[in-house]
């Protein structure tokens, strides 16, 4: 095993744990916040942390693939077991990144220009809120 790759992976996992702790704190705030605009800003922060996590895993995966570190690849694969079977790991990660970026784009518009949103965008914001609220509830049951 390549020691450099393993150290990088350990560093990524340490950073992910810090991100997850931030997400857990934000999740508490989301649950107790009733003001829609404040909650949207918290949702934006939560999703931004989620994006950062996936980007870290993407970098670690690229390094692991380039160095043929199967153990690291298998470990990262476990984080994406919820994704569609048959896809390459890097595509699963990049798919998650694309979803979150599209969510963030709509949330940013809802925060900055709420009066200029289309019906579809407003509906998408509702669905993103539901999605994040479900994740937030899960975060509040997990002990980090």
Kindly tell me the sign of the dihedral angle through the C-alpha atoms of 3, 57, 76, 18.
Answer: positive
Q: Which two tokens stand for residue 8?
A: 């990088």
pTM value is 0.91
SS3 string, the chain, reads: CCHHHHHHHHHHHHHHHHHHHHHHHHHHHHHHCCCHHHHHHHHHHHHHHHHHHHHHHHHHHHHHHHCCCHHHHHHHHHHCCCCCCCCCHHHHHHHHHHHHHHHHHHHHHHHHCHHHCCHHHHHHHHHHHHHHHHHHHHHCCCCC
pLDDT tens digits for range 16-32: 999 999 999 999 999 99
- Domain ranges, ordered by start, for the chain: 3-139
pLDDT tens digits for range 31-50: 999 999 999 999 999 999 99
As a whole number, mean pLDDT of residues 67-81 equals 92
Q: Is residue 110 predicted with pLDDT exceeding 80?
A: yes
Pick from 109, 113, 106, 97: nearest CA to 128:
106
Q: Which two tokens stand for residue 132?
A: 């994040």
């Amino acid at each position: 095993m390549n020691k450099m790759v393993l150290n990088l992976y350990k560093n990524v996992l340490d950073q992910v744990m810090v991100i997850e702790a931030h997400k857990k704190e934000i999740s508490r705030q989301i649950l107790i916040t009733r003001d829609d605009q404040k909650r949207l800003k918290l949702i934006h922060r939560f999703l931004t942390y989620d994006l950062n996590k996936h980007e870290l895993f993407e970098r670690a995966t690229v390094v692991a693939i380039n160095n043929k570190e199967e153990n690291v690849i298998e470990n990262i694969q476990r984080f994406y077991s919820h994704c569609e079977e048959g896809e390459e790991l890097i595509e699963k990660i990049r798919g998650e990144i694309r979803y979150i970026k599209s969510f963030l784009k709509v949330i940013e518009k809802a925060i900055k220009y709420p009066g200029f949103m289309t019906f579809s965008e407003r509906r998408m914001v509702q669905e993103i809120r539901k999605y994040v609220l479900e994740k937030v509830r899960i975060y509040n049951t997990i002990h980090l």
